[in-house]
A and B are shown apart, each in its own frame.
Chain A
Amino acid sequence: MLFLINIIVAGLLSGLMYALVAIGFVLIYKASGVFNFAQGAMVLLSALTFVTLNEHGLPFWLCFIITVGVLIVAAVLIEFLVLRPLVNRSPDTLFMATLGLSFVIEGLAQLVLGTDVHQLDLGIPDVPLKLYGLQVSDFDLFTAVVSILLVAVLALLFGKTRVGISLRAVADNTLAAQSIGIRLPYIWRIVWSVAGVVALIAGLLWGNRQGVQFSLSLVVLKAMPVLIIGGFSSIPGAIVGGLIVGATENLADIYIGPLVHGAVSDWFAYILATAFLLIRPNGLFGEKPIQRV
């Protein structure tokens, strides 16, 4: 029984890491209806920038600030060069554009910052401790706290600030928001910058665990089933989706894996998400879209 609980807890904790990436998607999807495939590339870009600066001997806080600056510049450029010319085009077109964007960002990041694998040490030990028989490390607890803080900050940002409220207005009804004087390009720049900061946090946590390298950008693919299960437009949904994917993936690897002679975590989440779509096409917390003819 303790073994089972340990598997579930380990799964839930890795699920939190998925959720952190998924939150970045939700932010952009809510504000502009774009499924931003480039979020994974942003995770890679931010982690690479941070690590490179850190290796040049800059202190942690300065690296963080400079990286956030880089991400804001990237957000402004993306809004100006990609989103603005493609305004009013179909969601599929925008999805394809962010796919192209992800290749540009990955290529540029690796061209400028190199393709080496970097070690990133945030100074938090990742050694499992026994806590009432559960295998949990300091780093796991840190990740959990960061996730909770992030969700709280985002909730405050969206609920209480002027920017956040106009952001929700844009998400709710773009045309009406524009007609009362909310400037769309401004909102997009803000939202892409915030998504960039979320990508940085996710990149630091993932980078600490598995090193900063190209495979970080592949995390984006695992965020897909997380979003489908949680719903594309809900931050709590992203968290819950991440937890479900993390836990079931770990369970499947332990209990189904031996039956089929191999690790199933490569594909299990996608099949789970597909099965989920057949039952609840809008996810757990998603809104039901209304179709007009």
Chain B
Amino acid sequence: MSASKLAGAVHFGATLSHGPLLSVRRAAILIALIAVYGVIPILGNDYWLNSLIIPTIVMGLAGLGLNLLMGYAGLMSLGSAAFMATGAFATFNLLLRLPFLPLPVVLLLSGLIAGLGGLIFGLPSLRIRGFYLSAPTLGAQFFLTWLFQTYHWFSNNSMSLVISAPRLEIFGYDLSSSRGRYLLVAVTAGFLLLLAHAIIRSRIGRDWMAIRDMEVAASVTGVPIARRKLQAYVVSSVFLGIAGALWAFAYLGTADSNTFSLDKSFQVLFIVLIGGSASLFGNFIGAAFIVLTPIVLDILVPVLGLDNYIDQGSIANIEPIIFGALIIFLLIKEPDGLASLFSRTIRALSIWPLRR
């Protein structure tokens, strides 16, 4: 998080507009697009889509939301899951109470409602910064989940306080199959990634980075601090809200306010820290790591013959150790996360025959 990164971002913008027609970067993006929208929907089976790919993309999207706030604007939040919950409950209520609205509009509106929440809980950031922000964001976390649990109107007075998607269709097409839900998630993620990319390269994004790197200097050079900070909270909450709605209805199918507990907030935070702050792509690497670790542990323990010593409950305790240790390791050795490791490898490979 230094000035050099800001300079790097500016430089990067320049190469993109004047670069060669077919660079390694563009080729990689093209391959990724074909894979995400062409190959995976055709080849992916139900297990892969349901338990690996959909949660990875949705959590990556949530990480993206927090990353815009934390990695780019330098504002901390421990309450990401509260805004995911807001998005999920808003989607549920909009689909239920305004059945004539199409799904994309509902998702967008839910995002905006979560954004409104972000605006309110972002207000204290105008006076405080750093880890002091943990108080209002923890307040958001506990207050909003309490709200959805206490007032049964939000879950349509169901006894169990569980919300489930009334219908998942778009212009008459049913999206409830795993392929349909995958496409919903992938297309939404594609749009949001484009939007995030545009925001970061706009005036707003550059102002965010200036505030992150040195707030006093940014305000001296005429950056409207208050406005930009609030915009960061709103944009971040919009992304988180949409991710929360997708998590509840495209991945889980049903949810309640416990789905979006403090643990989920920490998970989103870990995605940003592991994937790399101030990186768009890194969120999806971080999310893949979070989703895959428990699955890999489940497979690895019997393979290594450790299942005599380690029971199921202990595996649940190994996970936080791995995440925590990895975060400390990355903060020491690679503060820009796995994304920076990844892009360095790609760069090394792209000049591979000619490298030093």
| Chain A contact residues, CB within 8 Å of chain B | 35, 81-82, 85-86, 89-93, 95-97, 99-108, 110-111, 115, 221, 224-225, 228, 260-262, 264, 266-267, 270-271, 273-274, 277-278, 281, 291, 293
Contacts and interface: CB of A to CB of B under 8 A. Distances in A.
Contacts of A86: 331-332
A91 B131 contact: yes
Contacts of B320: 103-104, 106-107
Interface in B133-164: 134-136, 138-139, 142-143, 146, 150-151
B260 to A, nearest CB: 14
B318 A92 contact: no
Given A100-B331, A228-B132, A274 B124 contact: yes
A61 B139 CA distance: 40
Given A96-B327, A102-B324, A267-B143, 8 more contacts: A92-B76, A92-B131, A97-B327, A104-B324, A104-B328, A107-B318, A266-B143, A293-B216
Interface residues of B, number: 43
B150 A262 contact: yes
A91 B130 contact: yes
B327 A277 contact: no
A270 B317 CA distance: 29
Closest 5 CB pairs of A and B: A270-B139, A103-B324, A100-B327, A107-B321, A104-B324
A104 B330 CA distance: 14
B332 A90 contact: no
B313 to A, nearest CB: 6
Given A92-B131, A99-B327, A104-B324, A111 B317 contact: yes
A267 to B, nearest CB: 4
A53 B1 CA distance: 45
Nearest to A92: B130
B323 to A, nearest CB: 6
A101 B131 contact: no
B198 interface: no
Given A111-B318, A228-B132, A271-B139, A93 B216 contact: no
Contacts of A103: 266, 320-321, 323-324, 327
